[in-house]
Structure 1
Amino acid sequence: MEHVMDKVKVGIADLNVVRQPQKISTSGLGSCVGLVLYDEQQVLAGLVHVMLPDSSLSRTEVTKPGKFADTGINALIKLMEEKGSIKCNLKAKMAGGAQMFNLASKNENMRIGHKNIVAIEKILTHESIPILSKDVGGHKGRSIEFDTDTNLLKIRTVYEGVTYI
């Protein structure tokens, strides 16, 4: 019998896919966004830890597709399809995208969390993947864990405790 780890941790700018009964998690979500795509029929879930909204911001070749919303979401969809999902069955939940620092200037370029949220929402709309719930914005960091048994996203927010969406 093959032993399967019960939880897979996704690092910054990375992505992965798990199958029930595994859980998938990531931490260190400040301005970054943790996006979970899941397929209830195949009982699969994938997570990408997005750092930046658009790969066109990269000055070098993109070697970690999870770093950017556009390349990360596309790579996650492809990986889930390779494991048996059909894109029209995917649903999304997301958390993160905080404005971690109180900026004296209102420089739009420094609102990375907001830009990540907008980019992800735009891509998911284009891909016809519904966002069923989200916990985004604010000024506090988060860690998340998705449970393939319940399809609940557990969110630990700094100084605020745990919520489920």
Structure 2
Amino acid sequence: MTETREILVHMCAIGIGNGIDHDVLRATLGSCVGIGLLWRERGIYGLAHCLLPDAQNRPEGLGAKYVTQAVPSLLALMQVQRASHHALEAVLAGGANMVHYVRRPSHAPIGEQNVRTAQQLLETLGVRVVHTDVGGECGRQLLIDCHEHAFVVKKIARTL
């Protein structure tokens, strides 16, 4: 019997897994957005845990601090060519409002910005979003079971 290999994807990080090794990708999210990419026909999966939507000066190289950095990084690490974007499925989780404001700021909360940026970028790239569980005021945990070709989003109740 093969053991499951759990890959914890921490803030500003990316995890890549496959079904052969029985990988399970896991991220615990608040206002950060988790972007999961599922390439079922190849058995390759990726998960990015993004802190912010975009940077004024885009960082070079692979990374996941920013949504705009994470999506291209996921595609590169999963070795997905532009012609295969249609074969991917995306899952978005997180983007909660974890701060109670006395007065709502003039800009949208960071969680909303993270989700909006991810949705727009994936749409532009032709990657189909098959599931979203975002917003609100509770945290979430996104799990991708690479061997079972499945994902689940669990809500984490907010405690005062």
Shorter-normalised TM range: 0.7 to 0.9
Matched-pair identity in %? 24
Q: Deviations over 1:87-146 (max 9, x none)?
A: 331110111000011212221436000000000000000000000011000001112211
Partner in structure 1 of residue 27 of structure 2: 26
Q: Trace 1:60-71 onto structure 2 (pairs within 5 A).
A: 61=59, 65-71=63-69
Q: Is the 8 A contact 1:55 1:62 kept in 2?
A: no
Partner in structure 2 of residue 54 of structure 1: 54
Partner in structure 2 of residue 126 of structure 1: 124
| Residue in structure 2 matching 1:90, options 82, 88, 91 | 88
2:23 corresponds to which letter in structure 1? Q
Q: Deviations over 1:25-58 (max 9, x none)?
A: 112x110011100101101110000110002277
Q: Determine if the alignment matches structure 1 residue 115 to structure 2 residue 116.
A: no
In structure 1, distance between residues paired with 2:125 and 2:140: 26
Question: 1:13: Cα distance to partner?
Answer: 0.4
Q: Is the 8 A contact 2:139 2:157 kept in 1?
A: no
In structure 2, distance between residues paired with 1:57 and 1:105: 30
Counting matched residue pairs gives 154
What is the TM-score with the length of structure 1 in the denominator? 0.83
Partner in structure 1 of residue 45 of structure 2: 45
RMSD: 2.5
Runs of 5+ in structure 1 lacking a partner? 161-165
In structure 2, distance between residues paired with 1:41 and 1:158: 31
Question: 1:64: Cα distance to partner?
Answer: 6.6
What is the TM-score with the length of structure 2 in the denominator? 0.85
Closer, same or farther in 2 for the Cα pair 1:56/1:65, shift >3 Å?
farther
Which structure shows the bigger proportion of residues in helix conformation? 1
Runs of 5+ in structure 2 lacking a partner? none
In structure 2, distance between residues paired with 1:142 and 1:57: 29
Secondary structure, aligned partner of 1:66: coil
In structure 1, distance between residues paired with 2:157 and 2:12: 25
In structure 2, distance between residues paired with 1:87 and 1:32: 24
In structure 2, distance between residues paired with 1:114 and 1:159: 19
Q: Determine if the alignment matches structure 1 residue 7 to structure 2 residue 1.
A: no
In the TM superposition, structure 1's runs of 4+ consecutive aligned residues that sit over 6 Å from their partners are none
In structure 1, distance between residues paired with 2:85 and 2:55: 22
